Copies of this chain bind each other. A is one copy, B any other.
Amino acid sequence: MARNDLKILGAWPSPYVMRTRIALNIKSLAYDFLEEQFGTKSELLLKSNPIYKKIPVLIHDGKPICESLIIVQYIDENWTNFGHSILPSHPYDRAIARFWASYIDDKWFPALRGVAATQEENAKKAATETVIEGLVLLEDVFKNCSKGKKFFGGDKIGYLDIALGCFLGWLKVNEKLNNVNLLDESKTPGLYKWAEDFCGDSVVKDVMPETDKLAQAAKVIWAKIRAQASS
């Protein structure tokens, strides 16, 4: 079998890039990781994603695919016989997984970003509460989807695990740098244990950044977000 020509345009701290790398790991697909430098955009990136100019981009045999959740679905659908299925097998379960993945991107992560983006105490407190409320909601989703197993996807890491799990590094950085407790074992025991299982899984371990290293990157990135917010 010919080796697939797979490239990821990405950056190691990006949670969205991590999604695509976990999906490729699940399918045991080798790829070249082309690191974009923070604050600049390569010509290949601009050419491959002219609409959003954002990472990640997966380039498969010269053809670019953009948007992390679309890339994860592409990897699952194009290599059905490799590794395990990422999307649930039943259409209803797939719809539920897609719904909550969208919720995480559209509602929950913006709140987590809000914790980092503001230094104003009341706004930070409100964003922190929204993040925790979201986790309590997702605790219920976890119970319904996992049915007593380790992951949202059952025995193995699936679509919703990838969608939420890629933010765990940033959650820990937020906890560390802002001195808050977000993923609380007493409030969300299922997710607390899930997070440990997710981070320790063989398809995740080598792409999940160390919290200290991510915290250093976070300081640079947050300074930029705060500067943008106040300009």
A contacts, CB < 8 Å to B: 51, 60, 63, 65-67, 70-71, 73-74, 77-78, 91-92, 94-96, 98-99, 102-103, 107, 137
Q: Which B-chain residue is minimally distant from A69 (CB atoms)? A: B98
Verify B67–A94 contact, CB threshold 8 A: no
The CA-CA distance from A73 to B99 in the complex, in Å, is: 11
Residues of B within 8 A of A63 (CB): 92
| Interface pair A73/B94, CB less than 8 Å apart | yes
Contacts of A96 in B (CB 8 A): 65
Contact pick for A92, options B65, B67, B94, B95, CB 8 Å: B65
Further pairs besides A60-B92, A63-B92, A74-B94: 8, Cβ < 8 Å: A51-B103, A51-B137, A70-B95, A73-B94, A73-B95, A73-B98, A74-B92, A77-B94
Complex partner residue of A78 from B51, B65, B91, B107, CB under 8 angstroms:
B91
Q: Please, how many angstroms separate the alpha-carbon atoms of A98 and B63 in the complex?
A: 15
Min C-beta distance of A90 to chain B, whole Å: 9
List the 10 closest A-B pairs by CB distance, nearest first: A77-B91, A78-B91, A74-B95, A65-B95, A70-B98, A70-B95, A74-B91, A70-B99, A67-B99, A66-B99
| Distance A95 CA – B73 CA, assembled complex (angstroms) | 8
CB distance from A65 to the nearest CB of B (A): 5
CA distance A65 to B102 in the complex (A): 13
> In the complex, A94 Cα to B78 Cα: how many Å?
10
